[in-house]
Amino acid sequence: FNNVLESSGYDSDNKKLSELLVENAEGSFVYAAMIRRKLTKYATTKDRGEFDEYMMNNLNGLLTTELGSLDKTDTGIFWDIVKVCVVAMEPLNSQIISDLVGSSKQEIESLAKSFSQIFFDLSDSRVRFVHKTIRDWLLSYMGEMRKNQALLQNKESRGANKRRRAGHARRRSSSGHENIKEAEMRKSF
């Protein structure tokens, strides 16, 4: 890290930076590798402010940030690739993934390349996760997404049921008022 830090304009003796990296890594080599790749990228662009902000995250924060950069049109394809790669016994050829998910081979490879060295590794046209930690994190993230969707759907259905009951109650009470009014009108004749 020291060479990369120095080339990025950081003082290699900066203990606070080193301590922050070690603390945020939480013992994860994947975190350290991601930070190194990002730092190398920012060393060439000299955009330290963006890197400083990026570096403040732990692994969960880094991966969540990376997912946030996913284009809305690619979200479905991304998760389809994840699902196929999770159940595959070995890295699959991008053409096979393409056939399974219904997207073009170029789309699969383009997305895998966009997230190469973060989520996927694409070599010999085979798509695999960079590390088991990434696979496990994505599975956990998908589980949380599904749980949140289920809670939202449950909340929406409870709200719809409540509105439906309220509508029935209004109809009953208004029909009850009409019956009373009709009875009063008959009495007056």
Strands 120-123 and 92-93: unpaired
Show the tokens assigned to 60.
């969960």
In degrees rounded to 5, what are phi and psi of residue 148?
-65, -40
Q: What's this model's pTM, rounded to 2 decimal places?
A: 0.61
Q: Which is more confidently placed, 105 or 48?
A: 105
CA distance 159 to 79: 30
Q: What is the tens place of the pLDDT at every residue in 128-185? A: 998 888 899 999 999 888 888 888 887 777 766 666 666 655 655 555 555 555 656 5
Q: Which is more confidently placed, 143 or 18?
A: 143
115 in Cβ contact with 129 (< 8 Å): no
Residue 10: count of CB within 10 angstroms of its CB: 19
CA distance 115 to 118: 5
Q: What is the tens place of the pLDDT at every residue in 64-88? A: 888 888 888 888 999 999 999 999 9
24 in Cβ contact with 58 (< 8 Å): yes
Q: What is the tens place of the pLDDT at every residue in 110-121? A: 999 888 878 998
CA distance 120 to 40: 19
